[in-house]
Amino acid sequence: MDNRFKLFQKRNRLQIVSSFVLLSIAFLTMACGHDSAPAKRLGQYEAGSKTQADLETLLKADARVDDFSTEGDKLIVNVNSAFTSQPYGLQQRALGEWHNVWQAVNNGAKNASVIVQSSGDEIAKWTASEGYKPKVKAKESTTE
């Protein structure tokens, strides 16, 4: 028995595959399209969404924090050796979180800053304008 519709069958498969590919591309383009809403920075809290109690809970739960105080728009956090022995990246992450919460507590104040101290010496700070700024100690020179 001779199949007279071989060409039609091949052509039909090609149309099905090509239409599936085109529909998939169109679907992905629509799904991954541009959103007109501005992107919110990761980790930012809405102004006023955090309270002083939230900040106190966050800092008291952190074993690296000895105590903390506030002076106007400044949050001063006294830390122990567990914090100072960490690499700068982990310190930066902690300061960023503390700053985000502190800024939300202060209703989004643009000049809110977090200062980290160890044994009374400032070791790092985070400001909205400059971000994370560690205080780098000068290397001691050794003479032989």
Q: What is the pLDDT of residues 37-54, one digit of tens each?
A: 555 554 577 777 788 899
What six digits make up the tokens of 17? 């595959």
Q: Which pLDDT score, from 0 to 100, does residue 19 have?
A: 85
Pairwise CA distance, residues 81 & 75, whole Å: 19
3 or 115, greater pLDDT = 115
Short-list 93, 127, 132, CA closest to 110: 127
Q: What percent of the chain has pLDDT over 70?
A: 78
Answer whether 0.85 is exceeded by the pTM.
no
